[in-house]
Amino acid sequence: MAIPGVFVGLIIFVALLLYTFRVLREYERGVIFTLGRFWKVKGPGLIIVIPIIQQMVRVDLRTVVMDVPSQDVISRDNVSVKVNAVLYFRVIDPEKAIIQVEDFLVATSQLAQTTLRSVLGQHELDDMLAEREKLNADIQGLLDRQTDAWGIKVANVEIKHVDIDETMVRAIARQAEAERERRAKVIHAEGEMQAATKLVEAAKILNEQPQSLQLRYLQTLTEIAGDKSSTIVFPLPLDSIGKMFGNKWE
C-alpha cells in the first residue's frame, strides 16, 4: 500500500524539480514575480524559480513581423481607399512589456491600425501613392513614441497595398491623360515662342547686314537647283544683284 504513495510523491518531486529549474534561450528573458511583486528579469540560460512563491513570464526578444489588417481610410481629398501594412517591432524592456500593458502584441496591433488610419487620413491620395517612404517614416515615428512606455521598439513600418475603387481608377487615368495633354500643349507653345524669338533676332540681323540677306538668297538658289523641278521665278532686287556683282545698275 505504501508503493502508490511513494510513486505519487516521486511524481510531485519531479514536477517541482521541473518547475524550479528553467532554461531560457538566448533570445528569451524571464520576468520573475515573488508573491505577486516584480523581482527581476532573468536569462538567458538556466534559472531557478522557487515553486509556489515565485512565478515566471517568458518574453521573446526577437523582432516580430505583424500584418496590419486592411483599413478603410478616407483621404484628405475625400477618396475612400483600403490600406494595409506590415509592422516590425521587438521588446527591448521585458519588465515594461509585461507590467505596463496586458497583452503587448494585441495592444501594438490595435495601436498600429488606429495610427495608420489617423496618419493617412491627413494626406491626399497622390501622397499615399507617391510618398510612401515619408508616410512610412511618419507612422513609424509616431508608433515608436507611443509604444516606448510598453518597452517596445518599432523598427519599421511598410505600407503594402493601397486599393482604390474601380471608378476612381478610371478617374485617375483620365486625369493623367489630361495632364499629359496639358504638358504637350505647354511644350508646343514654348517651342513656338522660342522659334518666334529666334526669327525676330534673325530679321534684325538681316536688316542690319544686307550681305547676310544676299548669302541667304544664294543658299536658297543652290537648294532649288538641286531639285528636279520646273522653271522657277525667283524675285531678286536689282540693287542686291548690283552689290553682289559690283556693277552699277541704272
Query: What pLDDT does 168 receive?
Result: 63
Which has more pLDDT, 41 or 195?
Answer: 41
Q: Is the pLDDT of residue 199 over 80?
A: no
Query: What pLDDT does 96 receive?
Result: 96
pLDDT in tens, 83-132: 999 999 999 999 999 999 999 999 999 999 999 999 999 988 888 888 89
pLDDT-wise least confident of 4-8, 104-108, 167-171, 240-244:
240-244
Is 31:95 a contact under the CB 8 Å cutoff? yes
Is 113:166 a contact under the CB 8 Å cutoff? no
Chain-wide mean pLDDT for the chain? Answer: 82
Q: Is 166 helix (H, G, I), strand (E, B) or coil?
A: helix
CA–CA distance, 20 with 211 (Å, rounded to integer): 110
CA–CA distance, 233 with 221 (Å, rounded to integer): 11
Every domain range in the chain assigned CATH 3.30.479.30: 64-169
Give me the mean pLDDT over the 159-172 stretch: 76
Q: Is the pLDDT of residue 19 over 50?
A: yes
Query: What pLDDT does 249 receive?
Result: 46
The CATH architecture that domain 64-169 belongs to is 2-Layer Sandwich (3.30)
pLDDT in tens, 54-68: 999 999 999 999 999
CA–CA distance, 143 with 250 (Å, rounded to integer): 95
Give me the mean pLDDT over the 160-167 stretch: 80
Q: Amino acid identity, residue 18? A: L
Is 172:164 a contact under the CB 8 Å cutoff? yes
pLDDT in tens, 204-249: 776 666 666 666 666 666 666 665 655 656 565 555 555 545 554 4
Within 10 Å of residue 64's Cβ, how many Cβ atoms? 17
Is 78:61 a contact under the CB 8 Å cutoff? no
Query: What pLDDT does 250 receive?
Result: 47
pLDDT-wise least confident of 27-41, 156-170, 171-185, 225-239:
225-239
